[in-house]
A and B are shown apart, each in its own frame.
Chain A
């Protein structure tokens, strides 16, 4: 490949970039991580373009690379506990401060997003990715198992554990409301 091929590659992936970035954001829950994951996965896709021979849909292929990049990224973050803490989300009006908010207001609040983010951080990388693919992206368990490269039973168990952790972290906030 030469510089011209870089342009061809970029134009190929351009129409999928928005989707990829949003998928990365849902998998990692953090803008900076999502940016890193997209860049990593596009670089891997470019380097491994020879292995893509049109048997699968380009988006499916990129999707698989991105999910695996996200998994690796989350694993490297878990090995560095100092960056494992939930990141504050900027520029969001904190509406939870008002007394006794209704559930809709609570869900829309910055505090609630922090709680969700903290709950996601208690999950293992595989739990986080399988949960995000199922819950946010609507992928079936079979699709998740194939994308991540684990069995259907394993995918299910990771989702069950993720949901349990999510409930343990979030349900106390519902009480009394």
Chain B
């Protein structure tokens, strides 16, 4: 006879044991040991009575005063409703400025790197320009925090969401557009990039067909399982690359040797197919889950969504860019150089790669954090999150240094 565990007894007490409720009740009738345990549990929980229902204290005057003060906060002529609209408009402008100014940030990054080579005072400007190039995802997270509950019913919300996506995926999309431009017979230059942004802006004006909450929820649950399964396959490849890229900081030769082995393995038709299939499934299922959990105030979920967008664009660009290369110049992959700040063209890869690594760590990290809450106490999860952030930052900084040509052993 299998006895009921303490947790099962708690579920039974609250009537949360679903279809097992009859089996549990039958067992409690038959098993003296479990019946005694249940009685002890029920006796304690029955004694935990809620505070008596009381009248709310009269705090209306204080509350009224507080709300009025906040209505007039900052500017006496600016009511709260307008300030919210203004904040939403402001963040919408910012998310669209990120892709528009992205090419300028790359120029600033390259110029400051050139300056830093001759004068050490240029180094902080390299860091600043790199932060500017990588600011898109941060703006996207801020934008999602201003999301209305209308789920895209209003044009302003759609413009905000599409702008957030564009800001988040700018580095990957720009790299892809830039390489696609190389394959064209006519060099369109920046026209192609601004054309893509215009197209995205126009698309945001069209409303997507609505899906009911229950359909979206069922779909998301179904997609989640496939998403996790394909993520396991992909995580092996990505983790190997991340670790190897971090090792490049220590020794270039070790990195090269390891990379050649991994490249040989991933270029086998079976593993390449597996890799591309996993990427396709990740993107398709991620898009299917859509923005179910995204809402104003849900910071962790919003970070995970934005990291997902970055990661999807990164993986697509990573898989497709070598194909463009082989069609145009016949050269191999895109990460051959050890100093990405050496030329304007290779500089495009620095924010792309750094955000790719960071988004992978954030996407997996937030998932792990939310999953850990099911097994560990909140305080332990918080401490583990801090430790994870320290490790993640170290990995990103190490990779950043190695990509900027700083290696302990050449």
Seen from chain A, the residues whose Cβ lies within 8 Å of a Cβ on chain B are 1-3, 5-7, 9-10, 14, 17-18, 20-22, 25-26, 29, 35, 38-39, 42-43, 46-53, 55-56, 68, 103, 106-107, 112, 116, 124-127, 134-136, 140-141, 149-151, 153-154, 156-161, 163-164, 166-167, 170-171, 174
Contacts and interface: CB of A to CB of B under 8 A. Distances in A.
Nearest to A26: B50
Nearest to B375: A157
B67 A46 contact: yes
B45 A21 contact: no
A149 to B, nearest CB: 6
18 contacts: A14-B60, A26-B50, A38-B56, A42-B63, A43-B66, A46-B67, A50-B81, A50-B148, A51-B148, A103-B47, A124-B379, A135-B50, A141-B14, A157-B375, A170-B44, A170-B47, A171-B40, A174-B44
B80 A21 contact: no
Contacts of B49: 107
Contacts of B230: none
Given A1-B71, A29-B51, A124 B57 contact: no
B67 A43 contact: yes
A73 B297 CA distance: 15
A107 B47 contact: yes
A106 B56 CA distance: 27
Interface string B349-369: 000000000000000000000
B298 interface: yes
A22 B57 CA distance: 11
B370 A46 contact: no
B296 A51 contact: yes
B84 A50 contact: yes
A53 B148 contact: yes
A43 B70 contact: yes
B161 to A, nearest CB: 14
B40 A6 contact: no
Contacts of A21: 54, 56-57
Contact of A159 (B10, B55, B81, B296): B10
Contacts of B71: 1-3, 5-6
Given A112-B47, A124-B379, 10 more contacts: A3-B68, A6-B67, A25-B51, A47-B70, A49-B81, A51-B296, A124-B378, A149-B301, A150-B374, A156-B16
Interface string B329-367: 000000000000000000000000000000000000000
Contacts of A154: 370-371, 373-374
B16 A140 contact: yes
Contacts, number: 147
Interface string B36-74: 000011011101111101111101101110111011000
Given A50-B84, A50-B85, A124-B378, A160 B301 contact: no
A150 B370 contact: yes
Contacts of B377: 124, 127, 161
A35 B55 CA distance: 12
A136 B14 CA distance: 11
B193 to A, nearest CB: 34
Interface residues of B, number: 53
A156 B14 CA distance: 11
A14 B149 CA distance: 23
B79 interface: yes
Given A3-B68, A43-B66, A124-B379, A56 B79 contact: no
B132 to A, nearest CB: 30
B45 A1 contact: no
Contacts of A116: 48
Contacts of A47: 70, 80, 84
Contacts of B296: 48, 51
Given A26-B50, A53-B150, A157 B374 contact: yes
B378 A125 contact: yes
B79 A163 contact: no
A9 B71 CA distance: 12
A122 to B, nearest CB: 11
A17 B63 CA distance: 12
Contact of A160 (B7, B44, B63, B70): B7
B16 A167 contact: no
A163 B45 contact: yes
B267 interface: no
B6 interface: yes
Nearest 9 interchain pairs by C-beta: A21-B56, A136-B50, A154-B374, A124-B378, A153-B374, A154-B373, A1-B81, A6-B67, A18-B56
A18 B55 contact: yes
Which of B44, B48, B49, B293: most chain A CB closer than 10 A? B48
Nearest to B301: A149
A171 B51 contact: no
A39 B44 CA distance: 33
Nearest to A40: B66
A35 B59 contact: yes
Which of B43, B45, B47: most chain A CB closer than 10 A? B47
Nearest to B55: A18
A10 B41 contact: no
Contacts of B7: 156, 160
B374 A166 contact: no
